[in-house]
């Protein structure tokens, strides 16, 4: 396992712009696992997620020199990963929405498979825009501002979507049952 580069993202970007190729490794190793998890959620397939990882960082490398980081690196990466993963999924005609979302939510927990299926169904019943911001916030751990920037929507829209998604889940007996069983 490579050592974690102690430089900040801003410092790594500046070093890359100055020609320091090792700075790319720092960004890659810092964000590769995050990119794969996000890509898996959108593509629905582990192999496709690895393809998305490769395409994403090839895209990132093409931005240098001259790249300017104006937000967090995950805010920059999110739309790249999402669009690349959706393109891969369309290309392969795989229609497995939501399976990776459940794997992510259920990781490390001993969950009744029937309850997990119920939660997946409850999440799938949300409008795509609401499910997306909910997962960005609670699975990807992005701030509201980062979500707003990544999706290029107003902050109020992000807040409204999360509020409405949580409200719908609180009213869905499948979600309520799932979370009451997890206590």
Q: Between 46 and 110, where is the model more confident?
A: 46
- Asked if residue 85 and residue 47 are part of one domain, the reply reads yes
Q: Based on the domain organization, do 142 and 102 belong to the same domain? A: yes
Banded model confidence at residue 113, pLDDT cuts 50, 70, 90: low
- pLDDT recorded at residue 107: 47
58 and 129 together in one domain: no
Q: Which of 39, 61, 95 is the last residue of a domain?
A: 95
**How many structural domains are present in the chain?**
2
Instruction: Scan for tokens 């911001």, then name that residue.
Output: 133
CATH number at residue 165: 1.10.10.10
User: Do 122 and 141 have their domain in common?
Assistant: yes
Which domain does 65 fall in, by range? 1-95
Residues 67 and 87 in one domain: yes
Indicate whether 91 and 39 sit together in one domain: yes
Q: Can you give the CATH number for the domain in which 52 is found?
A: 1.10.1740.10
Shared domain check, 86 and 1:
yes
Q: What is the pTM of this model?
A: 0.64
More confident residue, 97 or 136: 136
Predicted confidence (pLDDT) per residue in 42-78, tens digit: 888 888 999 999 999 999 999 989 999 998 899 999 9
**Most confidently predicted of 69-83, 99-113, 137-151, 165-179:** 69-83
């Amino acid at each position: 396992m490579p050592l974690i580069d102690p430089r900040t993202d801003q410092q790594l970007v500046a070093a890359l712009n100055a020609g320091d190729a090792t700075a790319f490794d720092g960004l890659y190793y810092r964000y590769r696992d995050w990119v794969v998890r996000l890509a898996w959620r959108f593509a629905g397939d582990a192999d496709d997620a690895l393809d998305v990882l490769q395409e994403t960082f090839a895209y990132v490398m093409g931005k240098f020199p001259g790249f300017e980081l104006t937000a967090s690196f995950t805010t920059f990466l999110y739309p790249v990963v999402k669009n690349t993963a959706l393109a891969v999924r369309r290309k392969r005609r795989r229609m497995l929405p939501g399976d990776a979302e459940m794997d992510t939510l259920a990781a490390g927990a001993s969950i009744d498979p029937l309850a997990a299926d119920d939660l997946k169904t409850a999440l799938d019943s949300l409008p795509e825009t609401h499910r997306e911001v909910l997962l960005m916030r609670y699975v990807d751990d992005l701030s509201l501002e980062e979500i707003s920037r990544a999706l290029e929507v107003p902050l109020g829209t992000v807040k409204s979507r999360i509020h409405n998604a949580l409200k719908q889940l609180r009213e869905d007996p499948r979600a309520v049952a799932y979370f009451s069983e997890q206590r």
